[in-house]
Amino acid sequence: MIATKILKQRESLPVFSYRQEIIDAIKKENLLVIIGETGSGKTTQIPQYILEGFENCRLIGVTQPRRIAAITVATRVSEEHGTRLGEDVGYSIRFDDCTSSKTRLRYMTDGVLLREATLDTQLEQYDIIIVDEAHERTVETDVLFGLLKATHRLRPELKILIMSATLNVEKFSDFFNGCPIFFIPGRTFNVNINHHRDAKISSLKSTYVQRAVETALYVHTQESPGDVLVFLTGQNEIDKACRDLIAREKDLDYRTDVKYADEVRGMVVYPIYSTLETMEQKAIFDDPPRYTRKIVFATNIAQTSVTIPGIKYVVDSGFVKQKSYDPTTGMDALLVVPISQAAATQRAGRAGRTAPGKAFRLYSRESFEKLDEETVPEIQRSSLLSTVLSLKKMEIKDILNFEFIDPPDPLLVKNALRQLFLLGAIDNEGKLTSLGDEMSIFPLSPFLSRALIASARQFGCSKEVMTIVSLLSVEEVFISPRTEKKQTEADERRKEFYHPSGDHLTLLNLFEAYQDNGHSREWCRDRYLNHRTLSTAKNIRDQLRELMIKHNIPLISCRKKNSHNDEREKKKRKLNYLDAKYDSIKILESFSTAYYINIAKRHSHRPVFYHYASARSPGNEYVDANSSLLALHISPVSALFPENRVVKMDDLDWVMYHNMLYTNKALMKVVSRVNLEWVEEKLKLFKELENARLDGSSVAKESEDKIVENDSEKNDAKNKEVIEENERKNQRLEAIEAARQRALNRRTVNE
């Protein structure tokens, strides 16, 4: 019965009509781009068609940009395939591998495949690799494109499929040697798009939340039944919008104010953002009570990652909160910026998944036409520290000339090389060191892997540092409630864990208490802690422990010998004094081996700090040209924030921080005291930067000197290539349009 139902569902998907054509195309082509509109079934079905149509295929790898997608899709496909998850079909994400020797179809994050490539650049175990959701253009996806193109030159028999939900995929085809494009129509319905008459998006930044609430209320009172999805930018705006709409509804008289009062007699309002508790997220997917309209305020998570059933109306604010990395300051900026035309189209499409719908854009048509066509790829606005370390591990010498589909700013690459040198991961010629090789073992930020290795090799506290590193590898542990009263209570409960030295030992304090209380969900809830996040951190800690054992890296605790879990000890821990139990100095010194790059000095008269990436020695000897005098503030949730009163500001001189984020001012996140004497010797490395050739240019130059070519012949050949490439591109564009038209004709006939 269940199998029959699943089969009917599979056969009802648009992709099913093209099953044999897809198999034939994959058999014929080793490089192929597949366009599948949202809802076409490409992610779950095409890998199964390959399983069924390629009997001798050993292993099929399918990459996803998000962990949750890899898990949920693998779970669904294993159910459809009639096997237990982890057997024929499985998944691999960071710190969680659900596969076996039987697995033939493996869903994974693109980061997992990247890590595999550091050990096997030709990816020998795979016969077919599918890069799904390619339009998302994450850093890992873009690096994968370059690696797969290089791998294909060495293994031309490796089949590579690029799957995207957007129609603008000529760029993918061009990058992969002008490969063919297969077009699958989706099952979307018509969406009527309504623009504001004259609102310019540039003037909406201060009012878009209010206007979004007003538009949602208009839809509720004037439109026929159907749920509403409103796109906003972040938790604070969404929580405010939810409160405002609920308050506005109280003033409604449904008999006179609501046009379809016979069918719409109430509303339920939900928020959705990534840090929302799992149970709260689940309610969003339930059908609302009869005669009740569901209105959901969401971040970009609902644009591509999450599909909410029943949505008939979309309200698009025109904005997104986007993180952008500045290599000159080493700071991430989290800014509200206008979306792209492609993002606006995706948002509107959410209204047409199950029936004809409407999209209400808070901005004018003229503003839409002035938006960027595509979202700026992550690789052009993100730190490339982990990426460059991975490429170095793969023995790619000249990073600046690596073949990216859209090259990042050279400043981003040089900044990553500079930081890797300061961490000791590469030498002054850009070659990977033995320390860098050991750092690449761990699927962590290079800062964290450096601190972990130091804790094991130098300071004898790897068990404690491993715990802190695990907590720094997950989302925010502390929950921010949606009401002011609960937020005040949460702030007070948070202080139970604060440690006088700062946030690194606060995290250790918190995890110790979590362990002592049996990983209790109720205990977490009472203290406004995210149980799911803590559970993930525990799993990461277990995986790190296994990696350290596997690679013979010492697991040592700095627990003091006279420490016992008696009542006196528990009382001390309640007062936040972990020093009585552990050698706190060793733990902080371990982190300082990496975070000496991120240290700041307190201003003598004001409660702000100044970031000295070059923190000068007493003799004023070491100065870094990239140092910044940007004023930095301690995050309000930090144990070192003045109002938290764990420590007096006057007692602080130097601090180190995990990262820096700009919202309305520059905030240091995860901050702890640091003694300048700990890092004095390290600061000398800044001087060595002046003569370093970190980009591998010396190695590349040696290679170039070995090659002698005739310049005129080279130029003639290049010109000929350009002409031929333009001709091929025109032919591809014509083929794409013809394929698109054929698909639409088929669709018309079917309808």
Are the C-beta atoms of residues 131 and 161 closer than 8 Å to each other? Answer: yes
**Span 564-588, average pLDDT:** 62
Query: How many Cα atoms within 13 Å fall on the side-chain side of residue 436?
Result: 27
Which pLDDT score is estimated for 741?
57
Q: What is the CATH number of domain 2-186?
A: 3.40.50.300
Q: Is the pLDDT of residue 699 over 50?
A: no
For the chain, helix (H) and strand (E) counts, in that order, are: 29, 21
Which CATH code for domain 191-376? 3.40.50.300
State how far the Cα of 240 lies from the Cα of 483, in Å rounded to an integer: 10
Q: What is the DSSP letter of 376?
A: P
Q: Which residues contact 538 (CB under 8 A, 6 or more apart)?
A: 470, 519
CATH fold match for the domains 2-186 and 191-376: yes
CA atoms of 358 and 472, how far apart (whole Å): 42
Task: Give residue 647's pLDDT band: very low, low, confident or very high (50, 70, 90).
Answer: low
Contacts for 496 with CB less than 8 Å, ≥ 6 apart: 513, 527, 574, 576
pLDDT (0 to 100) of residue 706: 42
pTM score, whole prediction: 0.82
Per the listing, tokens 């491993």 go with: 466
Whether the CB-CB separation of 313 and 229 falls below 8 Å is answered with yes
pLDDT digits (tens, 9 = 90+) for 348-359: 988 987 789 999
- In angstroms, the CA 235 to CA 238 distance is 5
- For the chain, which residues make up each domain, given as ranges? 2-186, 191-376, 589-673
Q: For residue 109, list its beta bridge partners.
A: 64
* Higher pLDDT, residue 583 or 575: 583
Question: Phi and psi of 331, rounded to 5°?
Answer: -120, 140
How far apart are the C-alpha atoms of 239 and 5, rounded to whole Å? 39
Four-point Cα dihedral 637, 640, 642, 648, nearest 10: 160
Is residue 420 within 8 A of residue 385, CB to CB? The reply is yes
Q: For residue range 374-395, list pLDDT tens digits in order.
A: 889 999 999 999 999 999 999 8
pLDDT digits (tens, 9 = 90+) for 20-63: 999 999 999 999 999 987 778 899 999 999 998 888 889 999 99
- Mean pLDDT rounded to a whole number for the chain: 85
Please report, rounded to a whole number, the percentage of residues in the chain having pLDDT higher than 90. Answer: 57
Cα separation, 105 vs 126, in Å, equals 10
Tokens of 62: 């399918």
Residue type at position 719? N
Q: Is the dihedral of CA 312, 317, 323, 325 positive or negative?
A: positive
Per-residue pLDDT, 176: 94
* DSSP sequence for 726-737: HHHHHHHHHHHH
